Structure 1
Amino acid sequence: MKLLKRVLLLLVLIIGVVVYLNYPKLNIISGYAAKNVASGVYVAHRSAASMNQFDNKAPLIELASTELDESKQAASSTVYGLMKRTAVYRDGLGAVLVNDDYDSTKLTIRPNRSKTMDTIPYPYGQADPLDTILPEVDMDFINKAVAMAFANPETQKTRTFLVLYKGHLIAERYIDGFDKDTPILGWSMTKSVLATCFGVLEHQGKLEMDWPAPIAEWKDDERKNITLDHLLRMQSGLEWDEDYSSISDVTRMLFLDSDMTKAQKDKKAIAEPTEIWNYSSGTSNLLSGILRQQFRSHQEYLDFPYAALIDKIGMQSMVLEADIAGNYVGSSYAWASTRDWARFGQLYLNKGHWNGEQVFAPEWVDYITTPTIHSNGTYGAHFWLNAEGKYPDVPKDLFSCNGYEGQHVFIIPSKDLVVVRTGLAEEPYFDVNGILSNIVKAVP
């Protein structure tokens, strides 16, 4: 009996230590689960059961239990009954994790949208894509690439796949539960959408990339020399910890902060601008706050990405989610259908030209695809690059929007290609080089 009591006491102590060490993480775990389910249900129109079974089936996150409150359009999660977190849906602004200070009546405005139907075939309009046979395309290679993308569903976890060639839809496939209209969370592909807003403003003559970042708190210290260009290239020299496996700068920002534009702004400089390259979602949300400063009212800020970019090119499914303070979460929270993500890629393939209008200057593409020093040729300005041949069997002019768990919009100008892949797993489970190399072989 004494031995049994000692063993039980030891187990209790071990459990106590584990709970003590991990209790702060429960806030992040339940917050992630609640936010993901609320967005999945009310933005992507999926079931809570599907979100819990697949999207929240990840290490630690799967420990959370989530329930919906349909009357409030909200989702609440706990971990073994502990650390309850709730996310609520707001029309036009997506879902947001709330806290005790949240006032549902405070933020009543929403972005104005312009969703007009037309008879122009996809991708330039809302009509069905043309049923076009392009004799120069070797469909055997295309079909092989698509088959490869879905060959191992348990490990690859590909959900959607689409190929545009010269603006023609030549391949498209979806798993059960997803179709051409299902919004997909882009995660960090959102960064590229945010950056494009700055490209639009530059084209309109309203700002320049070499302007100092308009942050009052920086004007009298070493951060005063940080420019918009430094921020877009992730080379500001500011301290930041982008670790999703622990309580870090990025997880605190995404799952605890009411105003996500402040997290990076309050960090000290650890290097001079351009001395280091340090990937930072906090920088993207700081840029979202700077974008807001360009407008006289909150309403104008909310409207701008849609009026100047998203609705202009027909990305009618896209929703940019905002934090409690009403700032777009430019680091992580844009949802759009696979076809609409492909429209975004086509806009860049067209160097900003869309249906007779120049959305941003052609030179903007040159800017965002110029490699940033210290990034080993993998990063430009909020876009990823293949400049140093990360994908050895794919042209080096490839650039892309990349997001957590393998969300991708690949743009290959030399081959007139846009490829979109979404899913729940990334390299090495999803063979980007092998799949893209087959698509490249299929076209002249």
Structure 2
Amino acid sequence: MKIFKRVLLLLILVVGIVFYINYPKLNMISGYAAKYLASSVLVGNREPESVVANDLDMPLVRLATTAYNIEEASASASVYGLMGRKAIDRQGLGTVLVNRHYPEGEIYIQPQRDTTFITKPYPYGHLKPKDTVFSEVDYEQLQKAVALAFDDNEVQKTRTLLVLYKGHLLTEKYVDGFTKDTPVLGWSMTKSILATCFGILEKQGKLEMNWPAPIPEWKNDERKKITLNHLLRMQSGLEWNEDYTTISDATSMLFLESDMTKSQRNKNAIAKPTEVWNYSSGTTNLLSGILRQQFRTQSEYLDFPYEAFIDKIGAYTMLLEADLGGNYVGSSYGWASTRDWAKVGQLYLNKGRWNGEELFNDDWVNYITTPTQFSEGRYGAHFWLNSGGIYPDLPKTLYSMNGFQGQYVFIIPSKDLVVVRTGLAENPIFDVNRFLSALLKATP
């Protein structure tokens, strides 16, 4: 009997320790579930049941119990009834996790959009794509490549695929529940959208990449040497932990902070600028805050990404979500249809030109595709690169916008191709090299 009591006591102690260690994680789990569910329904136009059954069926997150409230346009989640979180809709700004300090019924500023119908064929307008047949394209091989992307799809989990060739729609495919108009969360592809805003401001002569970051708190310490270039290249030398499996800088920022621009701003320097390369979502949100500083009013800041290029290229399904402080979450929360993500890729393939207007300079593409020191040729300036040969059978000049769970916009200048793939599994489960090398065999 004494042995039994000791074993029971030890078991209770172990369970207690495990619970104590993991209890704070419940906040992240319920926060992720509530936020993702709310945005997927209200921005992505998905059915709540489908989101829960598919998107939220992942380690730890599946522990959350979720509910969607149609009347409130909100979603909530908790884990075993603990750490309840709620996400609400703010028209024009997406959804946001609220806290006990959030004032119900608060009036907030939202961006103004210009959604004028553009009378040109897709991708340069909103008319149907031209029914173009290219004599040099091997269409049989093209379909083999498309089939490869959706092969064994319970594992690969590809949802949408689109290929532009020479500015024309070559092919597209969608699984059930997704169409050409369905907004898809780009996750970290949003980083490239935020960076584009800086390229446009540079063309307008309003800033330069070698300028010191305008952060008052840094003026009297070693951080004063950090430039915009260092931030865009993730080589600021600032402390940051980008770990999504535990309570880290990244997860704390996304699921606990009201103002996400401050998370990286308040970190200490652990190295001099350029001495290390450290991928940081906090850096992108810091840049979002710096972008906000370039404008006199909140309205001008919110309008800028749309009026400067998103609406100009007719990407009307694109929406950038904001935090409670009204800052765009440039690290993670950009939505757009597969066709509109492809438009961004085509804009870069065109080196900033769209329907006769130059939105950013040619040199901006050279800048963002120049490898960053210590990234092993994988990273430029908020864009991913293949210059280091991570995809051995693909051109070294390929560059891309990448997001969590395998969201990709590949730009392949040597082939005049833009390829968009979205889904729930990333490389190597979705084998990028295998798929794209098969696709490239279809074009000269």
Give me the whole-angstrom Cα distance separating, in 2, the residues matched to 1:116 and 1:133.
Answer: 29
Shift in Å, 1:389: 1.2
1:408 aligned partner, one-letter code: Y
Give the percent of matched residue pairs that are identical in Structure 1 and Structure 2: 67
For residues 86-111 of structure 1, the C-alpha deviation after alignment (integer angstroms, 9 at most, x for no partner) is 11110000011111111244452100
Give me the whole-angstrom Cα distance separating, in 1, the residues matched to 2:129 and 2:71.
Answer: 39
Give me the whole-angstrom Cα distance separating, in 2, the residues matched to 1:218 and 1:187.
Answer: 29
For residues 13-66 of structure 1, the C-alpha deviation after alignment (integer angstroms, 9 at most, x for no partner) is 333222111000000000000000000010011111111111111100000011
Give me the whole-angstrom Cα distance separating, in 2, the residues matched to 1:104 and 1:305.
Answer: 28
1:87 aligned partner, one-letter code: A
Shift in Å, 1:340: 0.3
Residue matched to 2:67: 67
Shift in Å, 1:361: 0.7
CA contact (8 A) 2:225 2:273 kept: yes
CA contact (8 A) 1:107 1:326 kept: no
Residue matched to 1:224: 224
Residue matched to 1:345: 345
Q: Which moved more, 1:116-125 or 1:173-182?
A: 116-125
Give me the whole-angstrom Cα distance separating, in 2, the residues matched to 1:404 and 1:264.
Answer: 20
Give me the whole-angstrom Cα distance separating, in 2, the residues matched to 1:127 and 1:14.
Answer: 63
Residue matched to 1:158: 158
| Number of residue pairs matched by the alignment | 444
Q: Which moved more, 1:61-70 or 1:333-342?
A: 61-70
Residue matched to 1:201: 201
Aligned to 1:302, the other structure's residue is in SS state helix
Aligned to 2:71, the other structure's residue is in SS state helix
2:427 aligned partner, one-letter code: E
TM-score, normalised to structure 1, is 0.98
Give me the whole-angstrom Cα distance separating, in 2, the residues matched to 1:104 and 1:311.
Answer: 31
Residue matched to 1:53: 53
Shift in Å, 1:3: 6.1
For residues 147-206 of structure 1, the C-alpha deviation after alignment (integer angstroms, 9 at most, x for no partner) is 111001111111001100001111111111001000000000000000000001111111
| 2:379 maps to 1:371 | no
Q: Map residues 75-154 of structure 1 onto 2, 5 A cutoff.
A: 75-154=75-154
For residues 313-332 of structure 1, the C-alpha deviation after alignment (integer angstroms, 9 at most, x for no partner) is 01100010000000000000
2:387 aligned partner, one-letter code: A
Give me the whole-angstrom Cα distance separating, in 2, the residues matched to 1:12 and 1:267.
Answer: 38
Q: Map residues 42-441 of structure 1 onto 2, 5 A cutoff.
A: 42-441=42-441
CA contact (8 A) 1:239 1:267 kept: yes
Q: Which moved more, 1:339-348 or 1:62-71?
A: 62-71
TM-score, normalised to structure 2, is 0.98
Q: Residues 20 and 303 (structure 1 numbering): CA distance in 2 closer, same or farther, change over 3 Å?
A: same
Aligned to 1:421, the other structure's residue is in SS state strand
Q: Any stretches of 5+ residues in structure 2 without a counterpart?
A: none
Residue matched to 2:36: 36
Shift in Å, 1:5: 5.3
Residue matched to 1:442: 442
CA RMSD of aligned residues (A): 1.1
Q: Any stretches of 5+ residues in structure 1 without a counterpart?
A: none
CA contact (8 A) 1:76 1:85 kept: yes
Shift in Å, 1:7: 5.0
CA contact (8 A) 1:318 1:336 kept: yes
Aligned to 2:146, the other structure's residue is in SS state helix
Give me the whole-angstrom Cα distance separating, in 2, the residues matched to 1:269 and 1:7.
Answer: 48
1:366 aligned partner, one-letter code: N
CA contact (8 A) 2:242 2:248 kept: yes
Shift in Å, 1:8: 4.6
Give me the whole-angstrom Cα distance separating, in 1, the residues matched to 2:112 and 2:218.
Answer: 33
For residues 64-88 of structure 1, the C-alpha deviation after alignment (integer angstroms, 9 at most, x for no partner) is 0111122221111000111101111
CA contact (8 A) 2:235 2:274 kept: yes
For residues 288-321 of structure 1, the C-alpha deviation after alignment (integer angstroms, 9 at most, x for no partner) is 0000000000000000000001101011000100
Q: Which moved more, 1:258-267 or 1:139-148?
A: 139-148
